[in-house]
Chain A
Amino acid sequence: MGQILASQFVYNWRRNVSAIAGSAIILACVLIVLFGPLVAPQNPYDLTQLNLLDSYKPPAWIEGGDPRFLLGTDGQGRDVLSSILYGTRVSALIGIAAMLMACTIGTVLGLLAGFYGGRLDAFIMRVADVQLSFPSMLIALFLMSAFGTGIDKVLIALTLVGWVVYARTVRGSTLGEIQKEYVQAARVAGLRDAKIIRRHVLPNVLTPLIVIATVQVGTFILIEASLSFLGVGVPITQPSLGLLIKNGFDVLFSGLWWTSVFPGLMIMAMVFGINLFGDFLRDELNPRLK
């Protein structure tokens, strides 16, 4: 522990205002994901707690506001703050889970492509090339239009969109690693391929993935929000922040701005925090700058 605290990484972190700000935002989001439903004033999906008489109340500090509903209510009398606390959980968990899946699949394919080369490599990389010539958003939209709505389907779509970047990066570093003497020594020692890949290659190709994975959570949160906004993302029973904004859009023209403004600010804060921290990691882990 003492060693970690005294490291160059922590030293740089403590001197970097944006890195601290990013970490603070991420920490706050993690707390919301873990404890949001416990501190929420209301369970917005428990119909017995809703009262239609409370619908479309503005935020508490505006005339006509109700102190029970700090950020106002939507058309069903749902507390916007509570909806955001629940929605942040959906958005963040989708982003993290999809990132983990994409990272695992992409890393495995990249290792195989780099280690074995040949036809397998050519095939995986051609698929990656074709996919990279299309924007992620479009691929995800297309997949969701075929799959239909659902959290599991969003996860699959995001995974299919996101694996490429890991596969490419890992393949590149693997090609570099297998030339090195320690891998050749392991081969001469008669270790099986699986063991060489797992014990020797994998640990040495992971560092560049940390930055990609961090930033990708933010990207996934934004893509999921866009999909849900278009109505092809999460189902209405488990609304993410994007779906809350969509619901707010329908009443925006009547001047009821709070149902869409606050969820949008929450997405922005969350992704901004991730990007701030990602920028710091990129500078720290990029060997070219050192």
Chain B
Amino acid sequence: MLAYAIKRLVQMAIVLWAVSVIVFLMMSFTGDPVFMVIPIDSTDAEIEQARRILGLDRSMPEQYWLFLQNLVQGDFGRSYVFRQPAMDLILERLPATLEIVVVAMLIAAVVAIPLGVYAGANPGKPLSRLIMSGSLVGISLPGFWVGMMLIFLFAVEWRLLPSSGRGDTVEVLGIETSLLTWDGWTHVVLPSVTLSLGTLAIILRITRAGMMEVMRQDYIKFARAKGASRKDVLYGHGLRNALIPVVTIFGLQIGDLIAFATITETIFAWPGMGKLLVDSIYRADRPVIVVYLMLVALIFVVINLVVDLVYTAIDPRITVK
């Protein structure tokens, strides 16, 4: 187990290093950042000086070495636009993004798992077919368009919910959250529903596929024969054994949700790090883009590790090698 953990940690380090190389290379393609930090009417001498301060006058390998050293020390530089440490800007907005991601996951789980269990246990029934067609529509929809339609219906036509922003927040343990105020919730609902749609459809399909496989097994027949209630057969014996792939996909979906949050946040003007990324891309604000990508890379490798560990914990048949 210890050897496995060490091996995985080394792998994580290598992945993060590879990401840092790619991020560095791509960033050096995106044009000269000097013009982001100096006034338009600067003289040539001032431009040269700015280059020296930013380290842009050095060779590429030297620049990368500097970049890597700063990364390891957690110094990502200052945003060209906000003139604040880029790391602080991202961390400030991280809770808002996690908020809609977590709520979207909950919506997906609560809706998708019961529907998936039903469709998997009763494959031929008309309702199951309806559920499956619905899920196929779900993965065929452009998420941003759904968000727009929700805004149009709930905010423009019916004026029931706000269309943008985060609403009132409360500070808990130093973190701002909108999940504890009524106004906050009215703002959270639409972005979270929009975000959850794709995940919902995928979890539903995985749950159904797992259930269909499990329901054919002898132990299900046995549970029925011994007189277990229908609910007990479906959830106690069926879902429990069909859950392993669902947990894996759930973990991997967190990554997708964080990525799609960029679009959802843009539509709903939700002040999370995804919207910050999109804004920073427009403004060529390099340090902020770098922090976002490195942070997201870190989140992803950690999720992958956790998923693998959870996998072994819930399925005794799998052992780590």
Interface set of A (CB-CB < 8 Å, partner B) = 18, 129-130, 133-135, 137-138, 141-143, 145-147, 218, 222, 225-226, 229-232, 242, 245, 248-249, 252-253, 255, 257, 260-261, 264, 267-268, 271-272, 274-276, 279
Chain A residues positioned under 8 Å from B19 (CB to CB): 130
Chain B residues positioned under 8 Å from A143 (CB to CB): 26
| Number of interchain pairs (Cβ within 8 Å) | 107
Instruction: With A130-B18, A130-B19, A260-B148 as known contacts, state yes or no: A275 contacts B140, CB within 8 Å.
Output: yes
CB–CB B142/A133 < 8 A: no
CB pairs A–B below 8 angstroms (22 shown) = A18-B133, A130-B15, A133-B301, A134-B259, A135-B256, A135-B259, A141-B277, A142-B293, A226-B263, A230-B263, A245-B142, A245-B145, A248-B148, A252-B151, A261-B149, A267-B145, A268-B137, A271-B141, A272-B140, A274-B140, A275-B140, A279-B136
Closest residue of B by beta carbon distance from A227: B263
Contact of A133 (CB < 8 Å), options: B137, B281, B304: B304
Closest residue of B by beta carbon distance from A246: B144
Instruction: With A229-B144, A249-B267, A252-B148 as known contacts, state yes or no: A134 contacts B278, CB within 8 Å.
Output: no
CA distance A145 to B18 in the complex (A): 19
CA distance A248 to B144 in the complex (A): 12
Within 8 A of A (CB), among B14-65: 15, 18-19, 26-27, 29-30
CB–CB B140/A230 < 8 A: no
Instruction: Tell me whether B76 is interfacial, beta carbon within 8 Å.
Output: no
CB–CB B260/A137 < 8 A: yes
CB–CB A252/B152 < 8 A: yes
Cβ of A288 to closest chain B Cβ, rounded Å: 11
Interface set of B (CB-CB < 8 Å, partner A) = 15, 18-19, 26-27, 29-30, 133, 136-137, 139-145, 148-149, 151-152, 156-157, 163, 255-256, 258-260, 262-263, 266-267, 277-278, 281-282, 289, 293, 296-297, 300-301, 304
Chain B residues positioned under 8 Å from A145 (CB to CB): 30, 281, 289
Closest residue of B by beta carbon distance from A222: B142
Chain B residues positioned under 8 Å from A260 (CB to CB): 145, 148
Contact of B156 (CB < 8 Å), options: A133, A222, A242, A255: A255
CA distance A82 to B299 in the complex (A): 44
Cβ of B17 to closest chain A Cβ, rounded Å: 10
CB–CB B156/A134 < 8 A: no
Chain A residues positioned under 8 Å from B27 (CB to CB): 146
